[in-house]
Amino acid sequence: MRIIRHNLDIADYQTVALPHDGDLLSVAQSRTDRTQLIDLWSLDFEYGQRWTKGIYIVGTGNSMPEQLRDSAYKRDRREQDRAHPGFVYDYGVPEYDPKPWRHFIGTVVTPCGLVWHVFEGPVQ
Enumerate the domain spans of the chain.
2-121
Instruction: Write the pLDDT tens digit of every residue in 58-105.
Output: 999 999 998 887 665 666 666 666 666 665 555 555 555 555 678 899
Q: What is the DSSP letter of 82?
A: H
CA distance 109 to 86: 47
Cα separation, 61 vs 57, whole angstroms? 12
pTM above 0.85, yes or no: no
